[in-house]
Structure 1
């Protein structure tokens, strides 16, 4: 038996499309006051690790204060991500 190896219970990552024709700013925290750390290209899809409230943004899919964490120190406004929901689709960030 190997300890610390991958488990068979690992959930498959779910990817969500970013709004069409949008180059989306990725910020260092859950709000527009955080610096831009990179820009997602048009047609990007993202895996949401967790979500948390932040600055309210009006975007392609409405107005939301939910921010999606897509990597370490990388947040995008949920108003630009098609999740099929106006609420949380992932756990809250710790």
Structure 2
């Protein structure tokens, strides 16, 4: 009787998959009420509003208009959905740099 044996994946491959899954599942709290924009700047149309404490998943980040918010000043914008951006200064990421892939 023959058994199908699947070779274990390398430790590096397993760690890489776990890192991607962890990043995809990570959510961040909104620091204060904020408008959601269609692009990375306040000149883009308003497409929604988030209340302080709401948790969001950052799909990717890109530079845009420089904004001062509750966590400081930054030109970094977080895409939280298709055509949905918020200034990173309104998201408690624990960092003033990139925490997600670049858009």
- Tell me, yes or no, whether TM beats 0.5: yes
Following superposition, the deviation at residue 24 of structure 1 comes to 1.1
Give the length in aligned residue pairs. 83
The runs of 4+ residues in structure 1 deviating greater than 4 Å are none
Unaligned runs of 5+ in 1: 1-8
In the other structure, the counterpart of 2:54 is: 44
Output the TM-score relative to the length of structure 2. 0.76
Deviations 1:34-56 (CA, angstroms, capped at 9, x unpaired): 01000012321110000000000
Say yes or no: does 1:30 pair with 2:59.
no
The CA RMSD measured in Å over matched residues stands at: 1.2
**TM-score (normalised: structure 1):** 0.83
Matched, 1:60 2:54: no
